[in-house]
Chain A
Amino acid sequence: MADRESALADIQAGLKELDEEVVKAKADEALANGVLPLQVIEEGLSPAMKEIGDLFERGELFLPELLVATEVFKAGLEVVRPSLAAGSWEKACTVVIGTVEGDVHDIGKNIVKMMLETAGFEVIDLGIDVKASAFLDAAKQSDAKIIAASSLLSSTLPNLRLLVEAVRSDGLGALVMIGGAPVTDDLATAYGADGFAPDAILAVEEAKRLSVRV
């Protein structure tokens, strides 16, 4: 028991130190000591990731560290994945994500994608400059419950509205959440979006809120 608790604590410490090698080694050690794969995630990796997210929200830790933390989290996840029973952790639901047509900025979208993955969402990343029809096709093919779209340019903001309209007129049951630097809560309401988040941490919370609606 003590070895198992110690291994989980070491995983948390390694992730908070952004040390990929330590996290991988301790994840291996935890499995060898009889810790269940799901426990490695839910009692090792995820609590540390939550703490890192809270530090980011409070402005005590910043984007470079957050990005590395998501990479270290994923490295730890890959150690336990072969031992996971299929569907036992991931797929809080599937999210299709992309930057709208005409917009080639992706840093914010990439961070949201990483944070969603660390929270157990299956994410289909369509990249940048994505037409509304491509969002719809991907959502149908993957049975996605949420479409997450971003726009960083004022000139492409209208394409967020067009995406929402396309989803509604198609009758697709997926919910649409939007974000990006010029996007506001009021704009999201005006566009008829189902959700909005001003940053990557809150995007995860918003996705969780939406995932229980579908």
Chain B
Amino acid sequence: MTDLVLEVAWWAQAQGRYKGMMTSRQRVAAAFSFEEVDRVPVWCHVVGLSRRTLGVSYSEYAQSAEVAARCQLAWNDLIGDDFVDAYFDVAVEAAGFGQRMIYPQDEAAFTDASDYLIKNPDDYHKLEKFDVHTAPRVSEVLRMAEILANEVGEKRVVLSTPLEPFVTLGLMRGVSELLMDCVRNPNDVRAGLETVTDMSIEYVRALVNAGVSVIQFAHDYGNRAMMGPKMWLDLAGDCLRRLQSAVQETGAKLVHHNCDKVPYVDEAFDDIGHLDATMIWSLPASCTSWSEFKATYGNRATVFGCLEPVHFGTELSYEQAKVEALDQLRTFAPGGGFILSTACEFPANGSMHNAKAMVDACRDYEPA
């Protein structure tokens, strides 16, 4: 009964609390422009967790635009953050190329490591382009975006997360093999990256046409945990410039994301460019604190973040989570250009209460 009362209270709050104030779209647009907002926008970054609102398995979520969209809408109805996610998981583009998939009931879908599409360096040259409107999974995410835009696009921001081409290649080759190919067969890797980039550009254009207004690119190979900056830029730099320039041409906002240790943020800004926002999990080498990060990059792009998702989502009580969210707001909100978020996807097994704590913190935050 207590949970039901809470849910009703949250729903009522989400529906009526901000009447007469900015819509999410207005609020987020203002944050991207460093203009005044009625409150700091918030993105709970919930994907897998949203299926728990309707009791849906991950397998169902990951294969149906309608099911996934209903989960996102139910979640947003319940919690009331400013974004909805047109997103299944990382393995969408790989499926479009024909990579065999596995769909667990309780975990995100992943590519079948026993049957990688790219079995040797020659296979990078054999990747075949596909029609984004009919390809497996890719077409479903596009339909999900359309549904979300039609249902809530007037008031909420529809966001989607296509992957850096390296990530898609890794899911079709195996990460270890891909990394070794980068040393031993770099020209073959380049060929694969070019083909994936061509398809990613078409995918991004289709997402924006479907109603997505914020594109988040995960530069998940552009960090010290995966490879050196010289190799990353040498192999992927031109592709990322093409891709991110294409996003800019659509008019959508581009969020740079990196969720591994020591991300290459300067390289993302200076060597690749076209960024409107950044969301990272750990500090770049140039900064020793989040305050320094805000001071260094906060006037170059809107900052999303930076709550550590595993800790925030699974280890804290609601009260503790709200305190941490308020601390983040005090660090990042002054000066504008900030959107509260977890630094990567909110854990699918995380606490809904803690996601709600983010929304409540933004509601209650008072600038000094």
Residues of A within 8 A of B (CB): 18, 59, 61-65, 67-68, 71, 102, 104, 106-107, 110-111, 128, 153-155, 182
Contacts and interface: CB of A to CB of B under 8 A. Distances in A.
29 contacts: A18-B183, A59-B224, A61-B228, A62-B224, A62-B227, A62-B231, A63-B179, A63-B225, A64-B179, A64-B180, A64-B182, A64-B183, A64-B227, A64-B231, A65-B183, A67-B183, A68-B180, A102-B106, A102-B107, A104-B102, A104-B107, A104-B113, A107-B175, A111-B176, A154-B310, A154-B313, A154-B314, A155-B347, A155-B349
Contacts of B310: 154, 182
A155 B107 contact: yes
A62 B222 CA distance: 12
Given A62-B224, A67-B179, A104-B110, A154 B349 contact: yes
B227 A155 contact: no
Nearest to B308: A182
A182 B347 CA distance: 12
A18 B183 CA distance: 9
Contacts of B350: 154
Nearest to B226: A63
Chain B interface size band reads 20 to 34
B348 interface: yes
Given A18-B183, A102-B107, A128-B113, 15 more contacts: A62-B226, A62-B228, A63-B226, A64-B179, A64-B227, A64-B231, A65-B183, A67-B176, A68-B184, A104-B102, A104-B110, A111-B176, A155-B347, A155-B348, A155-B349
B57 to A, nearest CB: 14
B94 to A, nearest CB: 14
A110 B180 CA distance: 13
Nearest to B224: A59
B100 to A, nearest CB: 14
Interface centre among B182, B224, B348 (most CB of A within 10 A): B182
Interface in B171-226: 175-176, 179-180, 182-184, 224-226
A64 B184 CA distance: 9
Interface centre among B102, B113, B228, B313 (most CB of A within 10 A): B228
Given A64-B231, A104-B107, A182-B310, A154 B179 contact: no
A91 to B, nearest CB: 24
Contact of A63 (B227, B309, B349): B227
B260 to A, nearest CB: 8
A18 B184 CA distance: 9
A182 B313 CA distance: 12
Contacts of B313: 154
Contact of A67 (B180, B314, B347, B348): B180
Contacts of B102: 104
Contacts of B175: 107
Interface string B96-138: 0000001000110010010000000000000000000000000
Nearest to B232: A62
Q: Give me the 9 closest cross-chain CB pairs, A-B, nearest first.
A: A155-B349, A64-B179, A154-B310, A62-B228, A107-B175, A154-B347, A182-B310, A68-B183, A64-B182
A75 to B, nearest CB: 13
Interface centre among B106, B183, B310, B349 (most CB of A within 10 A): B183
Interface in B282-331: 309-310, 313-314
Nearest to B349: A155
A42 B176 CA distance: 26
A110 B113 CA distance: 13
A59 to B, nearest CB: 6
Contacts of A107: 175-176
B257 to A, nearest CB: 16
Contacts of A71: 180
Contacts of A64: 179-180, 182-183, 227, 231
Nearest to B175: A107
A42 to B, nearest CB: 26
Interface centre among A61, A64, A111 (most CB of B within 10 A): A64
Nearest to A153: B107
A110 B176 CA distance: 8
Interface centre among B106, B176, B310, B313 (most CB of A within 10 A): B176
Contacts of A18: 183
A65 B191 CA distance: 20
Nearest to B285: A59
A111 B225 CA distance: 12
Contacts of B309: 154
A111 B114 CA distance: 19
A67 to B, nearest CB: 5
Contacts of A59: 224, 262
A107 B225 CA distance: 11
Contacts of A65: 183
Interface in B127-160: none
Nearest to A102: B107
